[in-house]
Amino acid sequence: MWVSAALIGAYTAGYQKFEQLLSSPIVFTIFIASFSFSAIAFGICLYAIPARKGYQSVHKEGWGEFSHKAYNLVCEKNENIYAAFLTDFISKFDVAHRYSFETNQKRAKLLRLTSWFLMVSFILAIIGLATIGASYKNSNLIKENIMSESNNSSSESGAENTPASTDKPNVPVPPAPAGSQSGQIHTHSDDSPRVIRITEDVGTKPKE
């Protein structure tokens, strides 16, 4: 009974948490079947609980009736008091035992049926989880394929829109070589020479 109650609680919590994953009709049908089997198992467990009259006791009113039975045998001066008392006690015990044994047999059949219902419910739950996992994996693969296709298409469109690159490298143009600038070779400076004149007065004498 506790196993069935635990499964019902687990199924309820799983439905509240993963409600979006149960959108598939197949998965939802499996979930409903699993929940139904666990609920039926819980009901059978409750029905298998014996009522107050499910078992029969050896005495009907109390254990004191056996002492009264022995006292009556003594009053009747019965020679076989011990044998008579045991015969009456064993017959009552046998009836009570038979009644309780039949009750246990009925309960055992119901509980075995409950075990089968719980096993079926658990197996269906595993199948449902496997189906959800497979569908989730397939959806991820589909999303990845769509994303890769969109990336490929965007890269192709970008390549088509970009202008064709020229053969010239993206570097500054170097100056012309030195030999191609002029055919003249200079051996002197282009600047006009400076003339320095040194004059000296011959007729002047130094003062004493």
Tens of pLDDT, residue by residue over 145-195, are 666 666 666 555 555 555 555 556 666 766 766 655 555 555 555 555 554
pLDDT, residue 105, reads 87
- pLDDT score at 79: 78
**Look-up: residue for tokens 């030999």?**
179
- CA dist., res. 146 & res. 157, Å (int): 16
* Calculated CA dihedral for residues 32, 33, 39, 43, nearest 10 degrees: 140
Beta-carbon contacts of 120 under 8 Å, excluding residues fewer than 6 positions away, are: 37
State residue 30's pLDDT score.
86
What local confidence, expressed as pLDDT, does residue 208 receive? 45
The CA–CA distances, whole Å, from 112 to 35, 39, 54, 70, 104 equal: 19, 15, 18, 44, 12
pLDDT score, position 120: 92
> Which residue in this structure is represented by tokens 């994996």?
137
Domain ranges of the chain: 2-151
Could you say which residues of the chain have pLDDT below 50?
195, 202, 204-208
Residue 207 has a pLDDT of 47
Specify the pLDDT at position 117: 92
- Residue 146 has what pLDDT? 67
